[in-house]
Amino acid sequence: MGKMISFVLNGNKMAVEVKDHWTLLYLLREELGLLGTKEGCGSGECGACTVIVDGMAVNSCLFPGLEIAGKDVVTIEGLTSPDGTLHPLQKSFVENGGIQCGYCTPGMIMSAKALLDESPNATEEEIKHALAGNICRCTGYAKIVDAVAHAGHPHEGCPDCGPSWRSESKGEE
């Protein structure tokens, strides 16, 4: 038997019965059918399960489901507009090559969104720090960092914003 809780999920008010042993990841994937949030390690080490709770990036595999009562939860599904338009951060990952197999991408994007919501002009160091809890085994991290930087402050007309941003962030020409 569970406990009935209320929270906001991707902008929608929810009332759900949650069992005390459920993680937020289990609730999202198994009970609510939101499959964008991935389980990688199950121990909070890889970041594949990252979602945003009250503005903070959290590992949903460790976050107790009952603790979202009264909170605002945003998953990768909550970033896309109802008409299917991608969030600028999602679009930047596609355009800047920040995706290969895609397994880590939802967690990376959610960690990046939490950062950019707080610091829209994040530096390369801040981006790297915000993504430190997310593991990618395919792309390396340069294109992911570039994608986040481009989404944070793109240069109009720049066909490859990432490298030019990197030079500017280090004070180089």
Give the DSSP H/E element, type plus range, for residue 11. none
The residue ranges of DSSP E strands in 2-141, in sequence order, are 3-9, 12-18, 50-53, 56-59, 72-74
> Across residues 114-140, what is the average pLDDT?
92
Q: Is the pLDDT of residue 165 over 60?
A: no
Q: Which CATH homologous superfamily contains domain 3-77?
A: Beta-grasp domain (3.10.20.30)
Name the band, by pLDDT with cuts 50, 70 and 90, for residue 156: low
- What is the per-residue pLDDT for 171? 42
SS3 22: coil
Q: Domain 88-169 in CATH: superfamily?
A: [2Fe-2S]-binding domain (1.10.150.120)
Q: Which of 5-9, 74-78, 147-151, 157-161 has the lowest mean pLDDT?
A: 157-161
Mean pLDDT in residue range 33-62: 97
The pTM (predicted TM-score) of the whole model is 0.88
CATH 3.10.20.30 in the chain, residues?
3-77
Location of each CATH 1.10.150.120 domain in the chain: 88-169
Q: Name, in order, each residue with C-beta under 8 angstroms of 31's C-beta and a sequence gap of 6 or more.
A: 16, 18, 22
The answer on pLDDT for 157 being more than 80 is no
pLDDT for residue 121 is more than 70 = yes
Q: What pLDDT score does 138 carry?
A: 86
For the chain, give the mean pLDDT. 89
pLDDT for 80 equals 94
Assign residue 43 a region (left: φ > 0; alpha: ψ between -120 and 50; beta: otherwise): alpha
pLDDT digits (tens, 9 = 90+) for 91-119: 999 998 999 899 999 999 999 999 999 99
